Every structure is written in C-alpha cells, then in structure tokens.
Structure 1
Amino acid sequence: MALRQQLLAGFRAQRSNSDFWIHCLLYACLLLAFWPITTWVATSAHEQSRIFHALVVLMLATVFLVRYGGVQIQAPLQLNRSARRYLVASYLLLIASFGFRQLAVLTEESPQALTHQALSLLSIPAYGCALISVALFAFGEQARRIAITVGWTLTSFLVLSLLMEPLDWPLRHLAGDWSGWLLSLIGQSVELSLTQNEEGIPMLILMVNEHPFHVASECNGFGVILTSVLVSILLAFYRRLSPFDFGLNLLAGLLIGFAFNTLRIVIIVLLAPHMLEHYMLMHEIVGGVAFWGCLVATWLILNGPTRDEATTK
C-alpha cells in the first residue's frame, strides 16, 4: 500500500479516538513553541547558500536511507512507546531551556550567566526530540532507525550552523595554509599574508606567482566541510557505531571536507590566469563539482547504503 494510502487509512481508524486528537494537540503546541527555531532555519537557508545546500544534502541522504533501508510503516498515527518517550523528552528539554534562559537574564552580571546562556540551547536537542517523536507518531515504530538518525543529524546541523561565524577566520587560515602548501609542492611561488582594504577590513591574501587571491569567507570551506561532517554523522547514527567509531567517522568526514575544499582552491588558482574572462563561471563550476564530489566520496567511503538492505528497527 502506498504511503499516502497507509496514512489515510490510519487517520480514518484513529479520527474517532479522543486520545488521537489530544496527541495532535500536544504536537501542535510543540509546533508553536519551536516556530522561532523553524523560522531561523528557514531564514538562514535563504540568506546563506551553504546552509541551504547542507539542508538539501540532508534531505537527499534521508531519501537514500529510506530507499535502501527497507523501511516499513506499521500502525501509523499512534503514540507508540518510542514516540511518547521522545515527546516527553522534548517537553522537558524545552521547559529546562526556558528556565535557563530566564536565569541568564536574571543573572546577567554574574559569572553563571554564560553557563545559563549555554544551557538555554537545550531547545535545540528538544527540537530534535520533537521531530523524532513526530516521525515515530506518523510512521510507527518500524521507522525508528531512520527517525532517530535524521532527528539527531538535524540537531547536529543546527549546532554546527551556530558555529559558522566563530569558525570563519580559523577555517580561512586553514584553507589558505593547506592550499598554499599544496601549491608550493607542485612548484608554485606562494605567500600568504594578512592585510587590510581601504575600509580597514582585514583580508587574507594568497599570492601565487605574483597573482593575488582573496581568501574570502566563501573560501573557508564551511559549506563543503559542513556537508561532509553531516553525512558522516548521519551514517554514524544509521550504522549505530560505537563512540570510538563514531569519532573516527566524524574525523574522516572532517578530513574529506578539508581535502575537497583545498583541492577546489588549488584548481581555481591554477585555472584563474588562463580564464580571466570567464573567472566567475569557472569558479562556480569548480565549486559545484567539488561540493557534490565531496558528498559522493563521503557517502561511499563511509559506507553509505547504495543497495537494498535488510529491514531493521
């Protein structure tokens, strides 16, 4: 039976049950509570292409997991045990987040204020728990593996998105250092320096064979690295790896992202003197190939499913 037909049949079976509508009300309250986070994600995706592309990749990866994971829908639109646990966890984390946010305001001048502000971010895992609970409620216990995988990966995505600005300059320096080192290995004259433009804004300049290249924010590789890290986290949750193997998976995703971003910069630098009239077109093509190449490489290297697998909860 098609997914839509299964959900429709489940709704017809549950619509006369008062508990069903109470459960729907609980989820509707969560939707209202998490509306600011949802709006923030939508705004960030609209303003930052890197965030948007990472969300697209997460959706595509989810489609692959559903396609090859042998997911079956059983007893849809029922508050099963797992859905109930994650629903309760979401409400508890949300209440705790609200409490710490109020404490942060009341203790603004005290040393504990920073701790309270950090703990107010418990709303992010609460958001993940809510999504997992909704998926389990809608599709049943058989979707537990996929729901938990996607829910916690999206939670990781929200946390990493908060780090985009703080990590900008460190990632720029790493991108400049790595690409400069690789260019020097193949006989290019390279110099990396920090300067300022006419407005006093700091600029990181990579000088290659007397051609200056501005290592801008777009060159820090956050989009490529975020994508590879998200895929590594997604597959680590999906494969139910041990903490040690999870860490190795995360490290591998990080290194793959750095490697592809470095390769992207090197190729652009080498091609730029020969394609000055079509520089922006070349820049976008190389960037697109590096981005999707990184995604495919990460998926294959970290054992992402490419064929049907046995059904597991």
Structure 2
Amino acid sequence: MPIRQELAASIRKKYGDLDFWLHCLLFLLLGAALWPLTAWFAQTAHDQSRIFHALIVLSVATVLLVRFGQITLTDTLELNRSARRALFTAYGLLALSYLGRMLEGFDWLSLLIVPAYCWALAAGVRFVFGEGTRRLTRTVAITLCVFLFISIWMAPLDWPLRSIAGVWSEAILSGIGQETGLGLYTPQGEAPMLILVVNQHPFHVAAECNGFGVILTSLLLAILLAVHRRSSLFRLILNITLSLALGLAFNILRIVIIVLLAPSLMDHYDLMHEIVGGITYWACLILVWLVCQGPTQFSNEAKSVPQAEAEH
C-alpha cells in the first residue's frame, strides 16, 4: 500500500482514540519548546550558504539510504517502543538543558538542547512511520547532532581553516613554479585580510575560501555512513580522517585551479569561480561516498521485498 494511503488509513482508524491525541499533544508541546532552536537553525542556513548546502547534501544522502536500503512501515501513527524511548530521551535532555540555565556553573548543560532536538525528530519519524525506521532515524539523529554542534563553531574555525588553505595553496603553487607570497593585510579601520599573491596577482583568501562547507559536508557523510553501517570505532575514526583529508585537499585544489585560471579568464571570473567550486565540491562528496562505502545499488534485503510481493 502506498505511504499516503497507509497513513490516511491509520488516521481514520485512530481518529477516535484518545491515546492517539495525547501522543500528538506530547509531540506538539515538545516542538513548541524546541522552536527557538528550529528558528536559529533556519536563520543560520539562510544566512550561510555553506550550512544550507550541507543540509541539502545530508537530506539527499538520507534519501539514498532509504532508496537503497530496506525501510518498512509498521504500526504507523503509534507510540511504539523505540518512539517512546526517543521521546522520553528528548524530554529528559530538554529538562536538563533548562536546568543548566538556572544553575550557576552548569551553563554547559544548556547545550543538551541540541541532542534533545535530534532525538525529538527521531521520535516524531518513528511515531509517524513506525518501528521500521529505527535504524535510519538513529543514523540521521546522530549525524544531525554533530551537524548542529559544528555549526555553532563555524565562526571560531574560520581563521584556522583559512590559514591552512592559504599556506598549502601557496606551497603547491610555489612547487609548480609560480611566484608566490602570502601575508596578512589590514586596511585602516577594516578587518584583516589574508592575501595570496601569485605572479603579482593578489587574491583575497576570504571566509568563503576556508573550505568549511566541503569539509563539514564530507565529515557528515562519513559519520552518516559509519553509523548506518554500524562500523567499528576504528572504521569510524578512519572514515572521519579520510573525509577531513579529502575535504581539505579538494578545497586547496579548488583554490589552486581558480588562481591558475584567473589571469586568462578575468572577464568571466565569477562564472569560472562558481564552475570550479561546484565541480570540486561534488567530486569530493562523491569520492567520500565511495571511499566510505556508501550504497550505490539495492541491498539484497531490499531486492527481496518486491520479489516476495510479486510471488503473492
């Protein structure tokens, strides 16, 4: 039965059930309590394209896991065991986060609102679509939690990442025979600028050049796949290391290509910048997906489902 028809049938069946409406009220109250974090995340994604793009990639990766995996709908719109456990966990973490705001010296507890938010989403999906989504929701909840925490640290990571990108780009360009220089330039009354000079052409290594977007997205893909596959701790660390290395490498490659092409394409610099950035961004993510053994075809379990249905 199609998902929409199954959900519609469940609603008609549970419409007169008081427990169903009490469960909906629990989710509604939790959503209202977590609304400030939702608003902050939406505003951050709107203001920072790198966060928005990472969110899109994470969503696409989740769809691929659903597409190539085996997701079954069972007991929809029911507070099953896993949904109930996730819901109570979300409420408990939320209560601790509020408690941390009231107690002096326990401000760090307020950060628990982030995992509370993630487990609330997991509980909601399990409630709507059933117990069969438990593995997927656990995977996405953990990855989203990492995503939100790193998003908070985007500003502090800007200059360290910018410095790494500038230093390595200069080293590579110098190694292939280009005349290079790297330095900090501070215009009067303005913020300092990291300037990379190549063959007497100055390039501003701006915040958009720090590679935060491609590094963050690569890291999220690695964590998503490791958690979904229930990888060992060693494999998780290996995935994270490889994803960070690939993210850094492709960001530096992007800068080097742009710098080399810029003198001959200055009239179309913005277009060239976007094309090179897009190609290196998606090439990196595809490579991370393959290296971390992301699914590229249907699993044996998923293949058996339509075959079994056909036999009936």
TM over 0.5: yes
Pair 1:132-2:122 in alignment = yes
Pair 1:235-2:225 in alignment = yes
- For residues 196 and 311 of structure 1, the distance between their equivalents in structure 2, rounded to whole angstroms, comes to 60
What is the match of residue 10 of structure 1? 10
Quick one: which amino acid aligns to residue 283 of structure 2?
A: G
Contact residue 70 and residue 310 of structure 1 kept, 8 A: no
What's the offset of the Cα at 1:53? 0.4
Contact residue 231 and residue 298 of structure 1 kept, 8 A: yes
Match of 1:308 among 274, 298, 312: 298
- For residues 38 and 201 of structure 1, the distance between their equivalents in structure 2, rounded to whole angstroms, comes to 31
What's the offset of the Cα at 1:73? 0.8
- For residues 239 and 13 of structure 2, the distance between their equivalents in structure 1, rounded to whole angstroms, comes to 43
SS at match of 1:213: strand
- For residues 81 and 304 of structure 1, the distance between their equivalents in structure 2, rounded to whole angstroms, comes to 29
Quick one: which amino acid aligns to residue 258 of structure 2?
A: I
What is the match of residue 215 of structure 2? 225
- For residues 8 and 95 of structure 1, the distance between their equivalents in structure 2, rounded to whole angstroms, comes to 34
- For residues 270 and 288 of structure 1, the distance between their equivalents in structure 2, rounded to whole angstroms, comes to 17
Pair 1:22-2:22 in alignment = yes
- For residues 200 and 124 of structure 1, the distance between their equivalents in structure 2, rounded to whole angstroms, comes to 35
Q: Provide TM-score, normalisation by structure 2.
A: 0.94
Any stretches of 5+ residues in structure 2 without a counterpart?
A: 303-312
Pair 1:191-2:147 in alignment = no
Quick one: which amino acid aligns to residue 35 of structure 1?
A: W
Q: How many residues align?
A: 302
What's the offset of the Cα at 1:310? 4.0
What is the match of residue 69 of structure 2? 69
Q: Provide TM-score, normalisation by structure 1.
A: 0.94
Contact residue 71 and residue 311 of structure 1 kept, 8 A: no
- For residues 97 and 243 of structure 1, the distance between their equivalents in structure 2, rounded to whole angstroms, comes to 28
What is the match of residue 79 of structure 1? 79
Contact residue 87 and residue 129 of structure 1 kept, 8 A: yes
What is the match of residue 287 of structure 1? 277
What is the match of residue 98 of structure 2? 98
Which range moved further: 93-102 or 287-296?
Answer: 287-296
Q: Please, what is the CA RMSD of the aligned residues? A: 1.2
Question: Cα deviation per residue 1:157-203 (whole Å; 9 max; x = unaligned)?
Answer: 11110010000000000111121122122111222111212324211
Higher RCO (Cα < 8 Å, 6 or more apart): 1
What's the offset of the Cα at 1:296? 1.1
Quick one: which amino acid aligns to residue 130 of structure 1?
A: A
Any stretches of 5+ residues in structure 1 without a counterpart?
A: none
